[in-house]
Chain A
């Protein structure tokens, strides 16, 4: 999956597991960023339905000057509470509103924004956060302006079922908050927008539509099976005016302008020491925040880094990602494809044998694609020569009128790897890129194998899976009806 349980340590810590991050240009000159945590939720997860970690620091980082160091951080922290500790029930009756006394287990949150390189604000709203609120581990040391944009904001309940949450969409809508500073936020349970044929891919790189060509016992081919189907996730969504993200406060209109490309990633951090208090049956914590999970480009830590590197990658920061350059230049999956599919990828096999570095993948994943590389269009996601795994978004490229889920491979410059929209089929895009389809961008004489443009995981999002307005991520599956009998 994009980054669901992708590394040994974080696979044991779901509430801190950053599964996906999405960022795309939305109407009214805004960017919407969605960062998902607590993956693979069975909707019928009572009595302790899923929630964010009160002991986890959730961060969304933005680099707006190409140095792969964040200039902006949006920080989210959560607080859980029980209205009635003397019942085993999540809710004691139907939940009709966010203030309904029937709703027992609740969660609230605060939003803080940090701006690097700026002196602390002296006066005026929004005021600074309380004592002890510090930037996340990825943030540069030095002068920092911080502002608490919202506090005691409400998450909606989880989607329990028709008796407990009969009008769930109204509850979720009530949990959308427009902050005085201009951002709009939502934090709570959603259906997982990511779609992937997980069971097929991790069965030795099979893809159901082409698995009859697989080396090992090829069965009949068939459509893909979505491994995240009917599973929920917890979403942090924030919509921000573009002018609040660029380094000059502008809303760029030039695709090649110096302020047009943002680097975006998210992360989760925990306190360094965690100890179980056997008097109270809870954990206590101490020490600075240490990062335990991060997410930039989809599938980077999942597929590109090796098992022995994955935990360290989660701890690290994009600015130090040159360490993973060899993984991108010579990806393991690209070398496996000709082996797993004998005779299907002869040109890729020859490319692998030449030991040529995959500069196309380096551009897509680590530097961004400079203007002039994609033929026929003005297109840039280039942030500079620093190798860094960030989701790169050119905010001067407007939303597509007719989005293509294959993004740039489908001729849609508003999709991945220019940011990432919920419905972008990043699995197929990246497999095709690994198979050599994008190598002609840097080596025009290379001819991709016909299969490189034909491989697919054979999946499309479920009808109606996404919303047409903020937070865009769809209504979570309820526990009464899912899993279906």
Chain B
């Protein structure tokens, strides 16, 4: 395999890997959606809201509270989207954001 073809192979393989990840992870797929639009709330908060809390930006660690359960994930794409929505990623890196 010559240099050019190896580079082409790696490029192709990387794309394939990314495509697989998109298929496997809804959060990655969500990250590829267009940016969310800011809007006025359409109504009151739900009785039992789903709450996401970024615990650690660098680790991509996010805790999701739902019903009477709590689970913590590592999902850097989800964390990036939440940070972007918060529009203050430079200030929340140390303290997390809900």
Contact = CB atoms under 8 A, between A and B. Distances in A.
Q: Contact residue range for chain A?
A: 10 to 19
Interface string A320-333: 00000000000000
Nearest to A280: B44
Interface string A284-299: 1111110000000000
Contacts of B67: 132, 286
A256 to B, nearest CB: 42
A203 interface: no
Interface in B36-76: 41, 43-51, 53, 65-70
A277 to B, nearest CB: 4
Contact of A288 (B49, B70, B98): B70
Contacts of A284: 45-49
Nearest to B42: A279
A118 interface: no
Interface string B9-45: 0000000000000000000000000000000010111
A289 B48 CA distance: 13
Interface string A243-279: 0000000000000000000000000000111010101
A273 B69 contact: no
B41 to A, nearest CB: 7
A287 B45 CA distance: 15
A286 B50 contact: yes
A134 interface: yes
Contacts of B41: 279
Contact of B51 (A134, A273, A279, A280): A273
B86 to A, nearest CB: 16
A279 B48 contact: no
Contact of B68 (A277, A279, A287): A287
A283 to B, nearest CB: 9
Residue among A271, A273, A280 with the highest chain B CB neighbour number at 10 A: A273
Contacts of A275: 45, 49, 51
B68 A289 contact: yes
A287 B69 CA distance: 5
A280 B98 CA distance: 21
A80 B18 CA distance: 53
A286 B44 CA distance: 15
B56 to A, nearest CB: 18
A284 B41 CA distance: 16
A280 B41 CA distance: 13
Interface in A32-85: none
Given A279-B44, A280-B44, A134 B68 contact: yes
Nearest to B98: A273
A286 B43 contact: no
A292 B70 CA distance: 17
Contacts of B46: 284
A279 B66 CA distance: 21
Given A273-B98, A284-B47, 9 more contacts: A132-B67, A273-B51, A277-B44, A277-B45, A280-B44, A286-B66, A287-B70, A288-B65, A288-B68
Interface of A: 132, 134, 271-273, 275, 277, 279-280, 284-289
